Structure formats: structure tokens, C-alpha cells
């Protein structure tokens, strides 16, 4: 890239707001606060767990809805047809999410946890739960294609409803049988998965669409994007931090009581996130998708739907099970790793020919 082009596009990290620039610090504080609250306040986890409707934790649901709404309100829904017509992007996402992802997690779980069947099963479940929530935040912070992220997340949601139970049966029972390995089972209905998708994606997606439609109709696009979106933008990160605090408060005692187990579970997870993110970037570069859509492809491949994975593990094996602990360790590792990869992505941005993208979550980077 020429010096002129580089000068026109200064490092994105330097243009981030204070909230964005110190995101790892805020997330670290939120994780620590959640763990401390869970350990220091007796019964807090049980109290938070009891605040639920039909198995859905209301505090976590509230945090996720607050987190996702501002980002989905930023999507330009009138441009989604240009994303759905990009067959390379859609095919690449399907291959990464529904072929490579589950197979990779299955292999890593057996390689690193051959003697710990509960944790191994929990990790395989995490690998089957493709991300439909937090990936929107990571993609936005990394200046990925926001419209493409909305389409890929919706695609993941549809496949999740129909394929989660099928792939769970295949990777926990059928494939181990073929390979002469220990078999297990998973009992989860399509409705349980659909319910998670409808709550965590359907509600904020509908709210975001209606907000943009009626906001632009009433005040115009310029007012909507220059005045309204900057006001609601920071709430995405507030929702993220609130979710992290609640999540780690719920499971803080379990995590701090099994530090060595957490380390063993963390190793295959670290390998998984690195391979999936790197594979997404490599595939996007080979396909010539450009920075914005390559970034979206990488983050939608690397992220996981920890809410669904934890819910399935608890419903099937119990809240105190090793499977549930593996599900909880998922976001413990995923959150700081993907935050780090956001900054790696921004550093790589100048290597791509297309360096235009929408604002980040708080609207700082243009």
C-alpha cells in the first residue's frame, strides 16, 4: 500500500473513543467483579438463577438485548440484498460454521481431554452452538461489515434450529462409535433452540429494524445516523459489560473452585478460537472479500452461542455438571481472546485494499 493511501487511512485504533480503546480493561474489570460478587455474596448465584422464565435467565437476557439492540439499529436493512447476493461469503460462512467448527472442536476435545468425558462433552456442545449475539459486538468494534454480520447471524440462527440436535447426535454418539471411542447422548428439542434464537436475536432484530424504519421516516436518515445512533451506541457496550458481570457472578464459585480444570478446558478453547479466526481471515483473503467482509467472516466463525451451550448443558446434565462448567469456561476464554483479536484485526486493516467501514459500537471510528 502506498504512503498516500496509508496517510488517508490512519490507524483505526487511534480514532477509537475512550470507551472502545480501553475495552479490554472494562471487560477485565467486569469479569473480576462478577467472580468476586459470586464468591463474596452467599446465594447470589442461586438468586440470579431463580430469576428466569421457562429456563431463560432474565438478567442475562436483559443484558444481551441491551447489547444487541444498538448494533442492529445501525444496520441498513435496505442494503441486505447486496449481502445475500454474495455467494462466496455465504458459502464460506456455512463451511466454517457448520463443517469446520464442530469438527475442529470435536477433534480438540478428544485430543486435550480424552480422560475427562464431562468436560469433553461440554466443549463439543460449545462447538455446535454457533454465535448469534456477541459476535455482532466484536464485528462492529473491528469495523467489519455490519450488514453482512446481520445476514450471517440470521443464517446461523436458521441452521442452529434445524442442525444443533442433529449434529449433537452425530458428534456425541455416531462419530465416536465409528472411531471406537466412548459414546454419549444429548437430549434437546428444536423448540428449546428456537426459543433461544427468537429471544436473543429475534427481539433485538425486530426492534432495530422498526427503530430505523420509523426513525428515518420521521426525521430522515441524516438525523437518524448523525444524532440518534451516537446516543444509543454506547449502550451496546454497557449491555455487554452487564452481561459479563451477571454471567461470571452466576458461575464464579464454580470457576474459582476448579482452577486446574479451567486451565485444561481453556487450552483447546484457545486453539479453537485461533484456528477459526485465522481460518476465516485466510478464506476471506483467498476469496477476495476485502477487509470488512473478511473480518465479518472471521468473527462469525470464531464466536459461539455460549448462552445456548450453557442452557443445553444445564438442562441435560445439571447445573453442577462438568458439561455445564465447560460451557461456562467458554465465555471466560472467548471474551478476552476475541477482544484481543479485534485489535489484531484493526492492525491488519491497512493490508487490505478496502478500508471503508461503518462506525464502531460507540460511533468513534469512521
CATH at residue 320: 1.20.1530.20
Can you tell me the distance from the alpha carbon of 308 to that of 331, in angstroms, rounded to the nearest whole number?
12
Can you tell me the distance from the alpha carbon of 290 to that of 302, in angstroms, rounded to the nearest whole number?
18
Note whether residue 4 is domain-resident: no
Note whether residue 313 is domain-resident: yes
The per-residue pLDDT for 9 is 42
Show Cβ contacts of residue 255 under 8 Å, excluding neighbours closer than 6 positions. 35, 248, 262, 325, 328, 329, 332
Can you tell me the distance from the alpha carbon of 141 to that of 346, in angstroms, rounded to the nearest whole number?
9
Can you tell me the distance from the alpha carbon of 358 to that of 147, in angstroms, rounded to the nearest whole number?
10
pTM of the model: 0.76
Note whether residue 363 is domain-resident: no
Note whether residue 157 is domain-resident: yes
Note whether residue 7 is domain-resident: no
Note whether residue 156 is domain-resident: yes
Candidates 286, 290, 288, 284; CA nearest to 349 is 290
Range of the domain at 210: 12-351
The per-residue pLDDT for 5 is 38
Note whether residue 1 is domain-resident: no
Question: Could you list the pLDDT tens digit for every one of the 366 residues in the chain?
Answer: 333 334 444 444 444 556 666 777 887 888 889 888 877 877 776 777 677 766 667 887 788 788 878 878 888 888 777 778 888 999 999 999 999 999 999 999 999 999 999 999 999 999 998 887 778 888 988 999 988 988 898 888 788 878 888 888 899 989 999 999 988 877 667 777 777 777 777 888 889 889 999 999 999 989 998 899 889 988 888 887 887 788 778 767 777 777 888 899 999 999 999 999 999 999 999 999 999 999 999 999 998 887 778 777 776 776 667 887 888 788 778 888 988 899 899 888 877 755 444 444 444 333
Domain count, the chain: 1
Note whether residue 364 is domain-resident: no
The per-residue pLDDT for 319 is 62
Can you tell me the distance from the alpha carbon of 313 to that of 107, in angstroms, rounded to the nearest whole number?
19
Residue with cell 463474596: 40
Look up residue 244 and give its three cell numbers: 459479563
Amino acid at each position: 500500500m502506498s504512503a498516500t493511501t496509508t496517510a488517508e487511512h490512519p490507524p483505526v485504533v487511534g480514532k477509537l473513543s475512550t470507551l472502545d480503546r480501553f475495552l479490554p480493561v472494562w471487560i477485565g474489570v467486569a469479569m473480576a467483579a462478577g467472580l468476586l460478587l459470586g464468591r463474596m455474596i452467599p446465594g447470589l448465584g442461586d438468586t440470579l438463577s431463580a430469576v428466569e422464565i421457562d429456563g431463560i435467565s432474565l438478567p442475562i437476557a436483559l443484558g444481551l438485548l441491551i447489547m444487541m439492540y444498538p448494533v442492529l439499529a445501525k444496520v441498513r436493512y435496505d442494503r441486505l440484498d447486496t449481502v445475500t447476493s454474495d455467494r462466496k461469503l455465504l458459502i464460506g460462512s456455512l463451511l466454517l460454521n457448520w463443517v469446520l467448527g464442530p469438527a475442529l472442536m470435536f477433534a480438540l476435545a478428544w485430543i486435550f481431554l480424552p480422560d475427562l468425558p464431562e468436560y469433553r462433552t461440554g466443549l463439543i456442545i460449545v462447538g455446535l452452538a454457533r454465535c448469534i449475539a456477541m459476535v455482532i459486538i466484536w464485528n462492529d468494534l473491528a469495523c467489519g461489515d455490519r450488514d453482512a454480520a446481520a445476514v450471517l447471524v440470521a443464517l446461523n440462527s436458521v441452521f442452529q434450529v434445524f442442525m444443533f440436535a442433529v449434529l449433537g447426535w452425530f458428534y456425541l454418539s455416531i462419530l465416536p462409535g465409528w472411531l471406537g471411542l466412548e459414546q454419549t447422548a444429548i437430549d434437546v428439542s428444536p423448540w428449546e433452540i428456537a426459543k433461544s434464537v427468537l429471544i436473543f436475536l429475534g427481539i433485538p432484530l425486530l426492534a432495530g429494524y422498526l427503530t430505523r424504519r420509523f426513525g428515518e421516516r420521521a426525521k430522515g436518515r441524516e438525523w437518524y445516523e448523525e444524532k440518534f445512533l451516537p446516543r444509543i451506541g454506547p449502550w451496546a457496550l454497557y449491555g455487554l459489560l452487564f452481561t459479563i458481570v451477571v454471567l461470571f457472578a452466576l458461575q464464579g464459585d464454580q470457576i474459582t473452585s476448579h482452577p486446574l480444570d479451567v486451565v485444561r478446558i481453556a487450552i483447546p478453547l484457545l486453539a479453537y478460537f485461533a484456528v477459526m479466526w485465522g481460518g476465516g481471515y485466510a478464506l476471506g483473503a483467498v476469496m477476495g472479500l476485502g477487509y470488512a467482509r473478511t473480518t465479518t467472516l472471521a468473527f462469525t466463525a470464531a464466536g459461539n452461542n455460549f448462552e445456548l451451550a450453557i442452557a443445553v448443558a444445564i438442562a441435560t446434565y445439571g447445573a453442577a455438571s462438568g458439561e455445564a462448567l465447560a460451557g461456562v469456561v467458554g465465555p471466560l476464554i472467548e471474551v478476552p481472546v476475541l477482544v484481543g483479536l479485534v485489535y489484531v484485526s484493526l492492525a491488519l486493516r491497512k493490508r487490505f485494499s478496502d478500508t471503508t467501514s461503518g462506525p464502531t459500537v460507540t460511533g468513534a471510528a469512521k
